[in-house]
A and B are shown apart, each in its own frame.
Chain A
Amino acid sequence: MTEKITVALAGNPNVGKTSIFNAITGSKQHVGNWPGVTVERKMGKRVHNDVEMEIVDLPGTYSLTAYSLDEIIARDFIIEEKPHIVIQVIDATNLERNLYLTTQLMELGAKLVIALNMTDLALAKGDSIDISKMQEYLEVPVISTVGSRGGGIEGLLDAVTDELRKTRPTENIFTYDAGIEKRSGEIETILNSDPYFAHYPARWFSMKLLEGDESIIKKAVESDRYPEIREVLDKTDAYSLESRIADQRYRTIQTMLRQVCNINTNRLSGSDMVDRVVTNKYLGIPIFLSFMWAAFELTFSFATPFMNMIDVFFGWLAEAAANAISIPWLASLVGEGIIAGVGSVVIFLPNILLLFFMISLMEDSGYMARAAFIMDKVMSRTGLHGKSFIPLVMGFGCNVPAIMATRTIEDSRDRLVTILVAPFISCGARLPVYVLLAGTFFGRDAGLVIFGLYALGILVALLSARLMRSTVIRGEDTPFIMELPSYKLPTLKGSAIHMWERGKIYLKKAGSIILVGVVGVWLLASIPAPGSGGTFASGEIYGTTNSVIGFTGQLIEPLVAPLGFDWRIAVALVFGVVAKEIVVGSMGVLYGAGEDEESLSNILAAGAMTPLAGLGLMVFTLLYVPCFACIGVIKRETGSWKWTLFQLLYGTTLAWMLAFLVFQVGSRTGLLA
């Protein structure tokens, strides 16, 4: 019989918890060099020394007093679910602040194992840490690890199984001054006599009360004994106590550190030198903007040869299918439906790979937090929070994790505004629409047009935030306190893995939801409309107004006619709500790409659409209703249908107005005609 236990990975943000989680469980959870990558708990399994471990990766937290949702998730898991073992991952280059959490985990009485991570960096920096002394001092096992390379993991797991057999010493190694100890003793006596508090260790609970932790006080208020507790608390000076407790914890840590390690305080590190340039007063903003521009330029120009290869492949496939299949409707399904539809989406795989490659460079290097530092002032002007920046940048990849990442924002109104404007940041799924249309109509300037769309998305997000902040979601400025991690050289392997993972997701999407979507479009394009008298999938009705799709498309066409869109686009936009790539996929099906091995781009360029409508369509796709997955996550994270609906209506109205403006101004002035 194997034993089953739960092991939590806890620690400060950005110390390598997820790297260690991935190394233990073989998962590929998101790792990045900024605080706040993980915002929900992730589970994985591992059997070691006959013990079946459920490993739980938690968001990072600086203290067991939680401020933001991600920290609350971490704190609650540790105090409510009581994992058998807590592995605290510690950044060896930043011991003092990391051990602050250790003091609290010890007060909590958790069975602790310490993973002293990033020991490679500490070594390179010239620090020396006496691990056995540290172990002796803390009375918990300390294992040296290098999470990113999987170093020390077996030893860490051995320590976990060893620790299971041991009983933890109950006396506290962290003590405070006599005044605090006296009050804590009094409170502990009250807590111990009331079964209501039995779930929490008395020492930890009383220290949290003395620290003035609001959520703990709230818990205490529910008890009948609260008046007695209040009486003790009232005898203290809460204001100074808060500072005294933090101070004394840090002092204990300093005393210990003086004995166990020798830290090289030679100040100018590589990170500092990089920062002198990238956050320079004059260079900082130009560097940020050129980096963004280069990223988008590269995703477009670098990808072209690979796109041509994929295009040739699908052309060949369509021809082979046409020759091999003799049943007309089946040939149409395969050729005009599946190959044209899925093909017109898969062709953008190179763009997606490059986009995520660039994003991963930004994420792994540590530049992300710097960009937030540089742009905070801009953010605060628009009424967004400094911490809104990183979620918005993540949105360039996909809006869903971006909205999840808002969990790091402490104030609920700051968070709500960020969620509502996040969908305006142009995600990877919208990129195919731009690459197709900009590439078709704007030739050499395509890169610039795409950059313009990204910029428009950012502008709309910021202005909308400003608008919402001064109308429906008012509230004062909240503090912005952010750690700036040291730079790490992104590894080619890390970036390649990240890129490949995202590429796989894209291909899977093409093979599942997009496939279903385009087959649905094909089907509706093949069924004759009532009264049209055509036959299924016949040449006369396929994709015309005599098909069901054309018939209903015509009904909604008046809604988008002022934007210069015809019914095919109206239909593509409706299906695009399922996933934005389907806009392109449906157009592939409806404009008959695959037929005559002609690419969708050539068909459009040949007159199926005007450049002006093309530009309007890009703007509309950027701003209108986000995809299903995104709508779902907006609902879940705001917890409100009202706000979700607000986002959809607001975005779609804006999309309509701007596309209208593009088309009307453009056709009147004769630009792009």
Chain B
Amino acid sequence: MNKRTLDQIEPDNSVKVLKVTGRKSSRKRILDMGLTPGTRVDVIRRAPLGDPVEFRLKGYNLSLRKREAETILVEFVGST
């Protein structure tokens, strides 16, 4: 029951990436940006209007729209 997609995770929680699905072009870009399986991702905050969402991984901050976050399968690690 720990498997979810990244868009479902509330801010202030951490997850581990399991798999990136989705369209070819966005998938490769997401992988290139370092969201490879096993990577720990902290969910920082949603933008004031709800979308996009800011994440922290590999020591830097990244913004993804919910639509892209939906394509990333994650495992819950804990709250930060």
Contact = CB atoms under 8 A, between A and B. Distances in A.
Contact of A377 (B26, B30, B47): B47
B65 interface: yes
Interface string B16-59: 00011001111111111110111100101111111110100011
Interface stretch (A277-285, A328-336, A437-445, A605-613): A277-285
Given A373-B47, A378-B49, A479 B59 contact: no
Given A94-B59, A376-B52, A279 B45 contact: yes
Contacts of B59: 93-97, 263, 265
A139 interface: no
B61 interface: yes
Chain A interface size band reads 35 or more
B36 A243 contact: yes
B80 interface: yes
A293 interface: no
A176 interface: no
A246 B65 contact: no
A67 B36 contact: no
Contact of A285 (B24, B44, B48): B48
Interface stretch (A480-488, A557-565, A567-575): A480-488
Contacts of B13: none
A247 B28 contact: no
B68 interface: yes
Contacts of A271: 61
A285 B49 CA distance: 9
Contact of B52 (A67, A250, A373, A410): A373
A144 B67 CA distance: 39
B50 A377 contact: yes
Given A100-B34, A242-B27, A373-B52, A479 B47 contact: no
Contacts of A67: 25, 29
Interface of A: 62-63, 65, 67, 93-97, 100, 211-212, 242-243, 246-247, 250, 263, 265, 267, 271-272, 275, 279-282, 284-285, 373-374, 376-378, 380, 386, 410, 477, 479-486
11 contacts: A97-B60, A212-B28, A267-B42, A275-B54, A281-B45, A373-B54, A376-B47, A380-B65, A479-B29, A479-B65, A483-B63
Interface of B: 19-20, 23-34, 36-39, 42, 44-52, 54, 58-65, 67-68, 80
